[in-house]
Amino acid sequence: MELKKIGLFVGILLAFFTGFASGHEAPAADATKAEKQMYVDGVKKHHLHDDHYFTIMHGVSIPLPVIIFDGGVKFFMSTGFVEDEHGHVIAESGGEYYTISHDNGMIYKCDEHGHIHRDEEGKLEGRVLDFSITKNVVIILLMSVFLFFFFKKMAERYGQSAVPQKSASFFEPIIVFIRDDIAIPNIGKNYEKYMGYLLTVFFFVWFLNLAGLTPFGVSVTNNIAVTASLAILTFLITSFTANKHYWGHIFWMPGVPKPMRVVLAPIELLGIFIKPFSLMIRLFANMTAGHIVIMSIIGLMYTVDKGGFAIAAGPSALLTFVLSLLELLVAALQAYIFTMLSALYFGSANEEPHHH
């Protein structure tokens, strides 16, 4: 009986944090299983998808600017989206109506009733260019500013004393590890010109991954647009800093018969784009999967049959705690893998020809 009480207490605590993060009101105790499942699905969707509000807790949200281009730039706050009696979220600007699609969360032009036009195949039409400051954008900007001033302050302390102090004693071994065990072995003598990017991308990805573990639903690295942007940066740096040997090895591979070179050149060229694509998918898929698993396990407490909540809460809380610890490791591991692979690509772009 005491175990049931402990499980119930932990379950309520976890449920509080889940509802705290979701912006959705928790279902009533007598709600049907379908209603509970709908609530759990809403929590997952809120945590994984981007949003035009920054939700602090249920009923407390900060509206964000909506900036769209539709025959001209239109600006209004996200409070301009008003839900009608049919559940459609509609905003009016410049005599035009816009809504947020339930299918993908994108903004589309609609009629005054919130209906989006579809083509003959059922695909949505009327999508506008969206430059809004969304929840993910806010987190990226805040994290960038935080990292800039954090490491700037750390560097200033080194100007006063060569002995690492406070947070520097923790981060210095990590920075040295990235230099000595990632950059130098994989890039070689030209490693210094890449150190700024490697350090930036490691701490940026790591801290964003950690932010995704907070109960505010701010998971940024499970947004494929973010991981694609980081992968594109690695691709551009690799391409624009590559030497002649790198490009010659791709388009006219030395030491291979000429007919085979014609066959291998398109394959090698395709490999240039596959590398950043793998970077993008790896980070996106791993972080998304971790969040889905944790939220699904927490959601089991809501979807169990009536009377089984207290029994399910204890194991669910324990498993969630263990997986959260694992996610802390994964957050650092994915930052390490992204940095390591970027260094490998930079090294291949700067590799000197071997003379036998």
The domain ranges of the chain are: 65-132, 135-349
- CA-based angle 81:85:88, to the nearest 5? 45
Mapping DSSP onto H, E and C, the string for 252-288 reads CCCCCCHHHHHHHHHHHHHHHHHHHHHHHHHHHHHHH
List Cβ neighbours of 331 (8 Å cut-off, separation of 6 or more). 206, 209, 210, 212, 213, 287
Nearest to 353 by CA among 254, 235, 237: 254
Max avg pLDDT among 37-46, 68-77, 171-180, 239-248: 171-180
The closest alpha carbon to 45, from 295, 294, 221, 319, belongs to 295
Per-residue pLDDT tens digits for 39-66 = 666 666 666 677 788 777 666 778 888 8
pLDDT value at residue 270: 84
What is the structure's pLDDT at 32? 64
The structure's pTM equals 0.80
pLDDT one-digit tens code per residue, 261-317: 777 778 878 888 888 899 999 988 888 887 777 777 777 766 666 555 555 666 777
Query: Is the model more confident about 183 or about 165?
Result: 183
